[in-house]
């Protein structure tokens, strides 16, 4: 018996895996090569119930737990990192703050179309001087008689420019409190005057996902567009990142699983010295190490999910899972390329795409260095 697993979750896994194999896998390489963001696939993921898996049914969610959502991210990433990025960013970063901090009016207005696949929502933290240092945010929100005026630029924003993008949650400075800058979060519709977005191309990884730079020039929003309490925006964003790290961990785990399966299958096909290369101890040991790391990563990630689902603190474990799963993705994809040898070095090979896609996982939603700092602080040092 596995304390983090059940027959129901296995059935759910197989359902998502079937969707990924049938709908995403046949298109993944072509979309990656040509840097095509697929509106059709993004809509299909919503229609398949992959948006809002762990949210209340009254808003269009499925009412399942965190682990079920993480399993879904893992299964999509097993096939394609780009589609997993679209799904994870929309769920963990886009929808989650609205669900956790929004008023009932905001939830009723936004969530139904964001959970059924019609629209996507973005998360606006990162700027030129704000990433690991969230307090480096320079986007400002100035109080007006009618509400707020927002000004600033956001970069590296996933789901930030496609026709499906409905808007973004923006972290902005709203003044000072106790001698320090204070921050609030705002809901910003993409049709707001002064809002502009441009897709960022030429990426090393997740080439079929939508990454954008967003400019916010004298955008006027009302008091009703404030998300949560004024001056609580930074803590809201950081709590959102705790949960978001579980998603990135799941992407690392799924990528590692997919790369391992590719390498294992290839090792049984590739012939050298008159026999399949999986007969050689050097390859056997690589495969054994890969399988071991994946098993350890899965247990660590599922423990973090269990803690969250049972109302216990999970910040340290989320940081550990994200850190470790991203390292496992690096190790397994690298050894996968080594097993493929020359055949794994060409664009269009799935293992080559997996190798490129793993690199963002040690940077996004907390670099590996920052995560070690987070873990250290949980230890009281």
Q: What are phi and psi of 204, to 5 degrees?
A: -75, -35
Strand partners, 182: 175
Euclidean distance between CA atoms 88 and 82, whole angstroms: 10
The pairing of beta strand 147-158 with beta strand 165-177 = unpaired
Euclidean distance between CA atoms 358 and 340, whole angstroms: 17
Cα dihedral 287, 288, 292, 295, rounded to 10, equals: 60
Euclidean distance between CA atoms 58 and 351, whole angstroms: 41
Annotated active-site residue 269? The verdict is: no
Of the candidates 127, 138, 365, 369, the residue annotated as catalytic is: 365
- CB crowding 3-13: b at 16 or more within 10 Å, else e: eeeeeebeebb
CB 157 within 8 A of CB 168: yes
CB 233 within 8 A of CB 174: yes
Active site amino acids: 365
């Amino acid at each position: 018996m596995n304390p983090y697993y059940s027959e129901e979750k296995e059935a759910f896994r197989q359902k998502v895996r079937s969707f990924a194999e049938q709908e995403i896998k046949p298109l993944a390489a072509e979309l990656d090569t040509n840097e095509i963001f697929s509106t059709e696939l993004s809509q299909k993921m919503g229609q398949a119930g992959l948006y809002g898996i762990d949210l209340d049914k009254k808003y269009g969610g499925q009412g399942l737990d965190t682990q079920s959502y993480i399993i879904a991210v893992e299964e999509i990433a097993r096939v394609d990192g780009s589609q997993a990025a679209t799904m994870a960013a929309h769920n963990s970063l886009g929808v989650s703050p609205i669900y956790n901090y929004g008023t009932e009016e905001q939830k009723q207005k936004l969530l139904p179309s964001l959970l059924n696949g019609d629209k996507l929502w973005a998360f606006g933290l990162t700027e030129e001087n704000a990433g690991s240092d969230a307090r480096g945010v320079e986007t400002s929100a100035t109080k007006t008689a009618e509400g707020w005026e927002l000004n600033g630029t956001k970069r590296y924003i996933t789901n930030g420019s496609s026709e499906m993008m409905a808007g973004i949650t923006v972290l902005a400075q709203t003044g000072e409190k106790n001698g320090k800058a204070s921050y609030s979060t705002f809901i910003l519709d993409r049709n707001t005057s002064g809002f502009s977005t441009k897709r960022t191309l030429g990426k090393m990884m997740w080439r079929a996902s939508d990454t954008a730079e967003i400019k916010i020039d004298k955008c006027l929003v009302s008091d009703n567009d404030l998300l949560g309490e004024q001056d609580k925006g930074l803590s809201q964003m950081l709590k959102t990142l705790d949960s978001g790290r579980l998603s990135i961990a799941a992407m690392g785990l799924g990528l590692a699983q997919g790369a391992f399966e590719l390498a294992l299958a290839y090792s049984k096909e590739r012939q050298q010295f008159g026999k399949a290369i999986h007969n050689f101890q050097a390859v056997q040991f690589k495969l054994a190490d890969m399988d071991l790391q994946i098993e350890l990563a899965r247990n660590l990630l599922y423990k973090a999910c269990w803690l969250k689902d049972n109302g216990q603190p999970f910040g340290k474990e989320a940081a550990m899972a994200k850190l470790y799963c991203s390292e496992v993705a690096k190790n397994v994809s690298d050894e996968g390329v080594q097993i493929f040898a020359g055949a794994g070095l060409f664009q269009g090979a799935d293992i080559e795409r997996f190798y490129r896609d793993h690199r963002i996982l040690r940077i996004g939603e907390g670099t590996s260095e920052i995560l070690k700092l987070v873990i250290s602080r949980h230890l009281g040092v």
